[in-house]
Structure 1
């Protein structure tokens, strides 16, 4: 029968449909590692099989490396462009703790210094469109690695120390001082270097040898819905994006042996040499439990950190909440930071701390070695069962500058302490301190207190204690009865106070000053 025009058209449509399906299947091609020799019972090392699967995917332009349910034992996995590692529900990747499996050394960055070191467990260099996804588990098997750091006092020379020395003859040794003495440097769990379009999503990560998720010099990084659990262990930070641009961290659950999330940009001279800032990060909708800090900036921030937004997070049981730290010698600028809508409880040290004296140093002239903290803003934060509500520690030659606190509620053993700071504002801040004043200052200039109060005044302490503090504006306050004074002023450098639009009816002596304060106080 002679084909009709309609029949020909239908055949063409069917052919087009099957071609579309074929193209779609090709675009979504899966490479099951078991087809390349990997065993799902952890009986043999799967490293070579995984490498074969990745190589096969690269030949066709990329694809998904698939791990089905089961346990896989492997050494390091090196991703190439357009590769997705899919670890399905029920699948577990257990990384070998045989240090030889992580040689030869690869270009890396360690604690802010460029080195050649053991391969990270997941590694990529100058790749694009790479991802690790799924609902499975990856286990770094870090216990043996941790022992090399915890027992460093008894470290004996090993071949790994010699390999490290041979591979790092040009490394600026002082920048790694204190770590080299431990013998050699542990690898990060996931470290992608100079990559673009990175996604880590859904997986659970445990027992990292060192820092867990550590992209370096990357652009457009997303870490979403990831669970990270490391037991008490040395330097097992959760997510540490260094010198990256456009980083998005959301919907994660983190409990680790060091900081939960840390933003860094290189250390001292080597960090300034690379001079790549960490910028344009968003961190949101994340819970953080055990850890030295919830979200931390520094102390390796020599390339600068800027344009960071932290919001809608819960810190429960971390040593500190928001921590920004540096020291003389680091250099770099931390600026344009916004922290909002945060709940903190059971914080062992400070809920908020900005510390430019993280290491003991002497005063020196301002130079490229001088760190700078400025334009940092905190709002809508509630803290309960806190040790210290907040602390700002600047350096004499360059104080912390332009810091604001808005709508803060803190129940703490101690209140806020400010040293070496300028242009500080508190708006509608309530601090219920169990010991001492709710706010103490020393060597502070340009301080505004708007509606600052405590709901639980102490009979032996003024609400606010100002020492060597100048250019102060206190307004819209309504202290409750119970404190001996609302404001106590001391120090020969204290001057220029404006105290107005307050309701001091509940206090007999709302403002007092020591004899060394020469300025006459006028207030209403």
Structure 2
């Protein structure tokens, strides 16, 4: 009877419907600065019809324990039959299984509302999906939409993925008390005693052969079912969608990545918060993959992996898809804990181009600006513009371009060491990744392990990078390897020890008005056999405190 009455209500003209949706007056544009460094169209937001229903009207209870999966589905279906509208989640704690959005649907969380997803894994069947740049099977996401147009999640509440029930955790990331509590809760401890698995299904998936989080041997659905718990879902997965808005809501405690829009057009994300424990394995904030026309503004991230990440598919699968991530504007965001503040890669095989990042703060991340790839990926990252970035307490590199990424966080890689020098060239082909045409200016960093690290391939250098108006204080200086046509202009590097500027196999390099503390021994260090046309202009660096290898000396001019 309730549903019949609601259907009758929904048949009324829009003017008589309840509350208007997020964009009921029609499509409007996402906000872009007056001047962009590349051509970018206005980002269209979803147009949601002016209808509104409460999930409570469909039998749901915000009592924190009554399962509301059916009520969410019924509310969405009822609106979808009439062309869409807003599903309102009132104050309370709404316990549910997966929610699937459809065309022209807005999920709106009112003040003091919280959606908590059940830890009953049987509610999340395996589905075919894109994850880590590959087509694979994963558990259904708590919130998802596929091939949908005009969808939104808005409001003031919290969406909680109940991720602790899903994730394995390494002993070294927990306190002794936290570890003991995990062990007492059940699950399985690895033979070496260093990893806790939530179930045998997870342990089997993690140890039977995987490329990071994608199985290397499973082919059939039956194969994947054997490791179902290992195939943790992304909290919000919107794939092949058009006109998408996320606004105001807090997304937290995901089983894996938090927000994963893939192959979407016109994505607006503003004033959201994303958070999870710092030990959350693969707890990325937002992974924007092969999307076109994106505005991300005014948002906060405090996560267990990369904060804001741009991707476009992995290896041959990504190259064959051939959909770049392009026309991206990121502004006024803060990333606290995480492996990287703003990140590109490592799955970037379809290419990344036309990106502007401005007025962002990174505090306590492993890396500030992190660009990562490796041989075999292919893909080109180009036309990147970064402005006005403030960083503090960066555990590793303030600025990192790494074409030798090995699947580990920067902190884990630093512990292992082994930086390549004077490596042999390999033939370059479609599997060779490239970073080029990158412009960075007005950057401040206090406290990092290393100011900068450019780590190109011998056969494909990091190319055409300009860093201008930067001040960086770090334990060690700027290290630039296997790079071509790099300009440091009005850059100050203040190392606690060692050289301020370390170059290895660089070509057409210019440091203009480069500053460092006076009196540094070996302030400039140049090594390698493939240096060419290196010019350094600095009041603090001269012949007396430049340490040049015999093979590099002829290529260096100090002005």
Contact 2:202 2:228 in 1 (8 A): no
Note the C-alpha offset of 1:464.
Answer: 1.6
Aligned CA-pair RMSD: 2.8
- Residues 1:98 and 2:159 are matched in the alignment: no
Distance in structure 1 (CA, Å) of the matches to 2:202 and 2:548: 62
Contact 2:202 2:227 in 1 (8 A): no
Note the C-alpha offset of 1:152.
Answer: 8.4
- Residues 1:462 and 2:522 are matched in the alignment: yes
- Residues 1:137 and 2:158 are matched in the alignment: yes
Q: Secondary structure at the match of 2:436?
A: strand
Q: Which residue of 1 aligns with 2:535?
A: 473
Q: Secondary structure at the match of 1:54?
A: helix
Structure 1 pair 363–490 and aligned structure 2 pair: CA distance change class (3 A): closer
Alignment of structure 1 residues 370-449 onto 2, 5 Å: 370-449=432-511
Distance in structure 2 (CA, Å) of the matches to 1:271 and 1:385: 36
Structure 1 pair 181–71 and aligned structure 2 pair: CA distance change class (3 A): closer
Note the C-alpha offset of 1:484.
Answer: 8.3
Contact 1:432 1:457 in 2 (8 A): no
Note the C-alpha offset of 1:185.
Answer: 1.3
Structure 1 pair 364–279 and aligned structure 2 pair: CA distance change class (3 A): same
Alignment of structure 1 residues 122-521 onto 2, 5 Å: 122-147=143-168, 153=190, 158=201, 173=216, 184-232=230-278, 233-359=280-406, 364-454=426-516, 456-459=517-520, 461-468=521-528, 469-475=531-537, 477-479=538-540, 485-500=544-559
Contact 2:502 2:525 in 1 (8 A): yes
Q: Secondary structure at the match of 1:485?
A: helix
From 73, 82, 103, the equivalent of 1:60 is 82
Q: Secondary structure at the match of 1:271?
A: helix
Contact 2:396 2:448 in 1 (8 A): yes
- Residues 1:84 and 2:144 are matched in the alignment: no
TM-score by length of 1: 0.84
TM-score by length of 2: 0.79
Contact 1:29 1:64 in 2 (8 A): yes
Spell out, residue by residue over 1:353-374, the C-alpha distance to the aligned partner (whole angstroms, 9 max, x if none).
Answer: 0000112998532111111111
Distance in structure 2 (CA, Å) of the matches to 1:275 and 1:399: 23
Gaps of 5+ in 2: 1-11, 21-48, 172-187, 192-196, 209-213, 408-419
Contact 2:426 2:458 in 1 (8 A): no
Note the C-alpha offset of 1:25.
Answer: 6.3
Distance in structure 2 (CA, Å) of the matches to 1:161 and 1:125: 30
Contact 1:175 1:270 in 2 (8 A): no
Q: Which residue of 1 aligns with 2:53?
A: 31
Distance in structure 1 (CA, Å) of the matches to 2:15 and 2:342: 46
Spell out, residue by residue over 1:135-174, the C-alpha distance to the aligned partner (whole angstroms, 9 max, x if none).
Answer: 0111111001113898685767649989xx9xxxxx9937
Note the C-alpha offset of 1:340.
Answer: 0.9
Distance in structure 2 (CA, Å) of the matches to 1:20 and 1:141: 37
Note the C-alpha offset of 1:436.
Answer: 0.9
Contact 1:400 1:420 in 2 (8 A): yes
Structure 1 pair 118–347 and aligned structure 2 pair: CA distance change class (3 A): same
Contact 1:89 1:134 in 2 (8 A): yes
Note the C-alpha offset of 1:276.
Answer: 1.2
Contact 2:85 2:106 in 1 (8 A): yes
Q: How many residues align?
A: 468
Structure 1 pair 174–364 and aligned structure 2 pair: CA distance change class (3 A): farther
Task: Give the stretch that moved more between structures: 428-437 or 490-499.
Answer: 490-499
Distance in structure 2 (CA, Å) of the matches to 1:322 and 1:134: 30
Structure 1 pair 175–340 and aligned structure 2 pair: CA distance change class (3 A): farther
